[in-house]
Amino acid sequence: MALTALIIDDEPLARQELQYLLEAIGGIDLLAQGTNGIEAVDLIRLHHPDVVFLDVQMPGLDGFAVLKKLLEKKIALPQIVFATAFDRYAVRAFEVNAADYLLKPFDRKRVKQTVEKALARKAVPADSSSNAKLDALLRLVEEQVQGPKPAVTKIFGKVVVRAQSRLLLVDQSEICFASIEEGAIHVMTSAIEGQSNCRTLEELTEQLNPETFWRAHRSFIVNLKHIREVVPWFNSSYQLRMDDRKQTEIPVSRSQTKRLRELFNL
């Protein structure tokens, strides 16, 4: 028996990509699509779907605020699959009550696993801990909607880069971009190329000024001040040509295309 589903995402390309993958995988009866959190609440109340593929970051009501509204209005919660470019938004909710989460850009194999997991969950009756899970989810959503408490302004210092057996202290303004390849974090400046001691790009991102650095792709962080050219690419996508010696071209993921247009008024 097919699962009934909704897709809620403000990015048309993300909705189209997920719809294509779900149709190719099968086992899903797609009832409707929405573009924002308000539509999400109305569509869930109208259709009572088995599963909702819900974007985390949307204007107005984000994914967490949608869940809060559903709980406040006492609307039965479907299985929630969060769709996000960054796993930090979804992991904790996934542990509490979400069926799964998908990272953008979507991967067919991963989407197939999510559909199989949702089908398995549908076949199992709700257990006696459901109310406790909903209470825990409500508290989680409250925390996410309210956001973190104000903190002392963080000072972003130099970054350690290992190059030719030397540990160099590199000023952030000199970094053109950082990338991950085969588990290693590579850092490129106008003068040197080396590796970071960080294990993940997320860990490196924590050291970088968010006003200057942008995660343009799952595998790349770029310094906005070192972008030399925005190059239109296939299917309304883009690449960034950096100002390093190699004039490296970096892809912009579909999920970050909207952010690129906002940054440069494209």
Q: What is the CATH number of the domain that holds 11?
A: 3.40.50.2300
Cα 112-236-181 angle, rounded to 5 deg: 60
Domain boundary among 146, 167, 186: 146
- Number of structural domains (the chain) is 2
For 180-228, the pLDDT digits (tens) are: 987 789 999 988 899 998 888 888 988 899 889 999 998 999 999 999 9
Residue 122, class by beta-carbon neighbours within 10 Å (0-12 exposed, 13-18 middle, 19+ buried)? middle
Do 22 and 126 fall into the same domain? yes
| Lowest-pLDDT range of 54-68, 147-161, 188-202 | 147-161
How confident is the model at residue 143, as a pLDDT? 58
How confident is the model at residue 136, as a pLDDT? 62
Taking the C-alpha atoms of residue 233 and residue 248, their distance in angstroms, rounded to an integer, is: 15
Full domain range(s) for residue 48:
3-146
Do 188 and 137 fall into the same domain? no
Do 113 and 192 fall into the same domain? no
- If you average pLDDT over every residue of the chain, what do you get? 83
Query: Taking 50 as the threshold, does the pLDDT of residue 128 lie above it?
Result: no
What's the order of all strands across the beta sheet hosting 79-84? 28-34, 3-8, 51-55, 79-84, 100-103
Domain boundary among 121, 146, 171: 146
For 1-52, the pLDDT digits (tens) are: 789 999 999 889 899 999 999 999 998 999 999 999 999 999 999 999 999 9
In a domain, 253, yes or no: yes
Contact predicate 52/81, CB 8 Å: yes
In a domain, 254, yes or no: yes
Q: How confident is the model at residue 132 (pLDDT cuts 50, 70, 90)?
A: low
In a domain, 151, yes or no: no
- Rounded mean pLDDT of 90-116? 75
Do 165 and 138 fall into the same domain? no
The residues, any chain, with a CB within 8 Å of residue 33's CB and separated by 6 or more, are 6, 7, 8, 9, 15, 19
- As given in the structure block, the two tokens for residue 161 are 């880069």
Do 18 and 139 fall into the same domain? yes
Do 128 and 167 fall into the same domain? no
For 230-262, the pLDDT digits (tens) are: 998 877 788 999 999 999 999 998 888 888 888
Do 13 and 134 fall into the same domain? yes
More confident residue, 102 or 178: 178
Contact predicate 263/224, CB 8 Å: yes
Taking the C-alpha atoms of residue 82 and residue 180, their distance in angstroms, rounded to an integer, is: 24
Do 140 and 231 fall into the same domain? no
Domain boundary among 124, 146, 168: 146
Q: Which of 170, 203, 165 is nearest to 185 (CA)?
A: 203
Which range has highest mean pLDDT (91-95, 108-112, 139-143, 236-240)? 108-112
Using only C-alpha atoms, the chain has a radius of gyration, in whole angstroms, of: 21
On the question of a cis peptide bond just before residue 105, with omega within 30 degrees of 0, the verdict is: yes
Do 171 and 138 fall into the same domain? no
- Rounded mean pLDDT of 64-92? 78
**CATH number of the CATH domain containing 240:** 2.40.50.1020
Do 133 and 10 fall into the same domain? yes
More confident residue, 27 or 97: 27
In a domain, 109, yes or no: yes
How confident is the model at residue 96, as a pLDDT? 47
More confident residue, 62 or 81: 81
pTM: 0.54
Q: How confident is the model at residue 94 (pLDDT cuts 50, 70, 90)?
A: low
Query: Taking 70 as the threshold, does the pLDDT of residue 142 lie above it?
Result: no
How confident is the model at residue 93, as a pLDDT? 52
Do 135 and 164 fall into the same domain? no
How confident is the model at residue 265, as a pLDDT? 79
In a domain, 205, yes or no: yes
In a domain, 110, yes or no: yes
Do 142 and 165 fall into the same domain? no
In a domain, 252, yes or no: yes
- Rounded mean pLDDT of 101-120? 88
For 156-176, the pLDDT digits (tens) are: 678 899 988 888 999 999 999
214: left (phi over 0), alpha (psi -120 to 50) or beta: beta
In a domain, 230, yes or no: yes
